[in-house]
Structures are given as C-alpha cells and as structure tokens.
C-alpha cells in the first residue's frame, strides 16, 4: 500500500508513521511521499531524515480550503505517487469534491477528539473547556462534511482533574502517535 502524507505543520504524526515504518510496524504500507501546503512546514524536514521524498505543493489561490488550481496541483502530485492511501496528518485545509472524488474512499484524517464530539478546529481545547471526563482521538474517512466521515478507530484519553490544557494536549498527541500507525498497518492488510 503506497501512502502519501499531507501536512501543514511540524509533522509529529507523520514522524510517528515514519518511525513505525522504520521499525517494521506499518504492515504492508510504505510512505512514498510527504506533501505540504506550507513551504516552511516542519513536516518537510522529515523527508530527508527518513529517506522519503517531501515537497511543497502550492495551494493557491485560497487560504483555508483546497480548490481550483491548488487542488489540481495536489491531485496531480498524489497521482504521480500512485497513492493507495492519503493520510491527512495535521493538514489544515478543507478538502473539496475534486480531490475527494479523485481518491474516493482512500483519504483518512486524524482528529484530536472522540468524534462526533468536538469536530473542527481546536478539538482538544473544545473538550477541555467543556469539562468532559474523557476525550481522545479519531481516525476517520474524509467526506465533504468536516470531521463527519465514517469512523475507523478511536483512542480514549481520560481527563484528570489535575490536567491543564497543555497536559491534556500532550496525552492526546501521544494517543494520536500510537493510533495512526496502527490504523494504517491494519488498512494495509485489508486493502484490496
């Protein structure tokens, strides 16, 4: 299974995937490309470190969604890799029908809450401010509706009375780093 990772930030979840691959824990999946919509994103530095091609793809003309010319450039870059699975790991753009249709059923996302609770931006902060006793993270298929696709798997994280937003975020990120590689490995063994 050929995996392409899309990210906008420092790439801690991408690093967890690449470390799992390096350790032989990614099943039949292999990361073949890292793509970012930010030319200075930390995720791009992971490419040389792990021997995986990494490049910036111009997302213009929009700032928060992937549509028009930017979407076409991403579709082309993903197709060039022969991707079987597209993993959104901190990719901070809303996907539109062009990309979703081009890779229907092959795009997954990691979200920092137990969906359907707290979709959208700042899932950890939303959960913390709501005072829930438990939160976590979710890997789900991507659809037109943000964070509403079919759930693949979740990891639960208890919220302790002593937690701050920072300690809770650290616990959720640790759960994300464990969950995402496991899901990818499992999908690689069930892929047709």
- For residue 155, the cross-strand partners are 137
Cα 151 versus chain centre, distance:
14
Alpha-carbon distance 111 to 13, whole Å? 11
Query: Is 111 a residue of the active site?
Result: yes
CA R_g for the chain: 16
Q: Smallest Cα–Cα separation from 83: which of 23, 4, 8? A: 4
- How many other CB atoms are there within 10 angstroms of residue 162's CB atom? 6
Q: Residues 111, 140, 173, 177: which is the catalytic one? A: 111
Question: Would you name the residues annotated as active-site residues?
Answer: 111
């Amino acid at each position: 299974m050929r995996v392409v990772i899309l990210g906008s930030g420092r790439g801690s979840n991408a690093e967890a995937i690449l470390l799992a691959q390096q350790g032989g824990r990614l099943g039949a999946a292999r990361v073949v490309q890292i793509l970012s919509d930010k030319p200075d994103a930390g995720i791009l530095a992971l490419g040389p470190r792990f021997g995986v091609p990494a490049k910036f793809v111009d997302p213009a003309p929009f700032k928060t969604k992937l549509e028009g010319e930017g979407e076409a450039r991403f579709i082309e870059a993903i197709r060039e890799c022969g991707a079987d699975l597209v993993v959104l790991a901190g990719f901070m753009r809303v996907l539109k029908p062009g990309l979703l249709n081009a890779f229907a059923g092959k795009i997954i996302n990691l979200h920092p809450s137990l969906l359907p609770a707290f979709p959208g931006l700042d899932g950890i902060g939303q959960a913390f401010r709501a005072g829930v006793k438990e939160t976590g993270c979710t890997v789900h298929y991507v659809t037109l509706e943000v964070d509403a696709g079919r759930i693949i798997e979740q990891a639960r994280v208890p919220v302790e009375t002593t937690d701050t937003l920072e300690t809770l975020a650290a616990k959720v990120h640790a759960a994300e780093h464990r969950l995402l590689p496991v899901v990818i490995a499992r999908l690689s063994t069930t892929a047709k």
